[in-house]
């Protein structure tokens, strides 16, 4: 069930704020960085199951002049370094800095990358040879769900962030709505097990021994 991540065409697209790190106003400031509980365990599961991890994040604070690209990049690097210390590789971080309404200068743009548009997903899929129909999108907002759906991914909404756009997308439903990233990883592991059972015609445990051993060290 676990293909080596570097050769896998399966990926998980992860929103950043509210999914990986605690979502606070000014989440581009490194002194406010904090991982959400359970993130390391969840990403460990996904990596051991053969998924490549890609972060796709709207950072319109850049466009509005509230943050610089350097500040956001520094925050992203802190996230990557923190996860790397836990043995977790994030292959890439894609950032949309635009704000079509309140952006300043070149950042005031109705772009194709700002979620709910799927531009970052398409760019990542091309650069990293991912099959979007085999990928998942995990976010804490309905705009993440729409973006993942528009890219052709299965979508999971987690309840660890600030879900402030439900009224904007009243008819939108993810494939799954779960409490945390750990629960999302379990859903994905279960789906892979069902897929393997269908292919092999025999029982496949959702969590194989390698996963369990890693998580209980």
Active site residues: 15, 17
Residue 118 contacts residue 54 (beta carbons within 8 Å): no
Residue 124 contacts residue 9 (beta carbons within 8 Å): no
- Residue 206 CA: distances (Å) to CA of 13, 91, 126, 192: 21, 24, 29, 7
Instruction: Give the SS3 label for residue 20.
Output: coil
Measured between alpha carbons, how far is 160 from 138 in angstroms, rounded to an integer? 11
Residue 151 contacts residue 183 (beta carbons within 8 Å): no
Instruction: Give the SS3 label for residue 206.
Output: coil
Instruction: Give the SS3 label for residue 158.
Output: strand
Measured between alpha carbons, how far is 151 from 122 in angstroms, rounded to an integer? 7
Residue 158 contacts residue 179 (beta carbons within 8 Å): yes
Measured between alpha carbons, how far is 27 from 34 in angstroms, rounded to an integer? 10
């Amino acid at each position: 069930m676990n293909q080596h991540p570097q050769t896998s065409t399966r990926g998980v697209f992860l929103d950043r704020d509210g999914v990986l790190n605690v979502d606070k106003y000014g989440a581009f400031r490194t002194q406010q960085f904090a991982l959400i509980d359970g993130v390391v365990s969840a990403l460990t599961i996904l990596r051991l199951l053969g998924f490549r991890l890609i972060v796709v994040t709207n950072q319109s604070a850049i466009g509005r002049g509230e943050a610089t690209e350097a500040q956001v990049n520094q925050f992203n690097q802190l996230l990557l370094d923190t996860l790397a210390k836990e043995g977790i590789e994030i292959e890439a971080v894609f950032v949309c800095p635009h704000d079509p309404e309140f952006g300043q200068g070149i950042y005031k743009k109705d772009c194709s990358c700002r979620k709910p548009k799927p531009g970052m997903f398409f760019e990542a899929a091309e650069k990293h040879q991912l099959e979007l129909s085999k990928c998942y999108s995990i976010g804490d907002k309905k705009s993440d769900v729409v973006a993942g759906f528009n890219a052709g991914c299965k979508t999971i909404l987690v309840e660890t962030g600030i879900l402030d756009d439900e009224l904007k997308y009243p008819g939108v439903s993810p494939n799954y709505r779960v409490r945390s990233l750990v629960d999302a990883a379990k859903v994905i592991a279960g789906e892979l097990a069902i897929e393997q059972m269908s292919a092999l015609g025999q029982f496949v445990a959702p969590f194989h021994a390698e996963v369990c051993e890693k998580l209980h060290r």
